Structure 1
């Protein structure tokens, strides 16, 4: 089974210029000979490996992991949380969904609420949306002057470099869906009474700005992908493929930490459980 390709094929390297329109959101290049029917067994293998690596991360207690997941509305952020990250031990992982900032958060700098959500050593923080909303949304919706949001590129890069220097492994994932796939998913929410709660009429205004968001995301990803905090642009029209690729990217990132279980400071042979 291909493993490293999932990271290498979709990783954005420093200095690279991103063009989201050049990627086929329905691509399944890493597992091109597989289909949705193969998904269950393949995904279970990935989830088992994730659990094992998370267990070692928690036991070793040396590293922190931050996984940032960004996408357009209906892009699959919740699906990733449900199908990939919820398989982990809940003691060691926390999924934080960032909504529009409330009054107290607006009274602080835009990174204040974000920094608080980064967990301690041995833990995995998953951001469903993130500090990047405070750049991308305010830019497209013209919520603040250009000088303000342009300065945030530097602030974010410096913030992530500080986290990295202090022992945080950062993985950033953009779930790339097509505009047509988004339409189908939004319509499915409207058609299903059990999913109406997920539909936000105001989100249609963002859909009308699709091209503006793509331009903004192209620049954002290009300007903020570094070796210490790389972006991965994952084709996400096929949910099963998205889940496999995201799981493999996280597996590869955890393996890069070269973790080991801590050695006991006593000889287990001297212990007798009666």
Structure 2
């Protein structure tokens, strides 16, 4: 049995005060958005409460699917590194970057350097190589596969992409881990599902991603970006693959708010004689006192046998 916790869209706060040079870029629009829309609703205290509940459930591993920061200021990226150290040992925490982590040109390169202990695959760690996407980490019967959709974009855009080179390597990783009989979890920031995000926030290369997964298979896809608790599915070779998102990990509770308050998902993965068993528990904040409770439970149908093929 393997227990995997999933959180996303951390948006660490408070936001450091940027200087004028740092604001002469796309950051000026993001800074205005933070001051007017996010400053009062996305808080460190909410995040601390959520992380404490995650740790109380003692997962074997934590998946973080991007947007650790807001404007990708140097100080933010360094703060995120320190926060990751409090979250867990790099061997037990896997991170992929989001669009806010690549907010302006050059930011993603800095994030990869600072956060590399949490973004390197087993081979890269063993051979002391830099971060390479997609990466592969194997923990027991579970293959954790990190895909990067992060890229710098123009103002008012938050798209991501996956291109031929990464998709080709993803196919190779899925093929190899499938032949080993592993439970394959793909982690990506942008939803690889058409219509899951508005056009200015969508993943470019959805068709390429879906064709790759349809050919080689996977058991579960985890993403962030939308700040919503959603479940979709995409086609595998001959079964449906669950695609799951969580609310933003620092979103506070407010009556009538558009986005749900902070939450995380806890997956329990077991290998059985019939194939795989995967249960999913949604836990999240339910009131203004930041009380965390179980909201829903699901038994996900994963893999060929459990899908009745």
TM-score by length of 1: 0.35
More strand by share: 2
More helix by share: 1
Higher relative contact order (CA 8 A, sep 6+): 1
TM-score by length of 2: 0.32
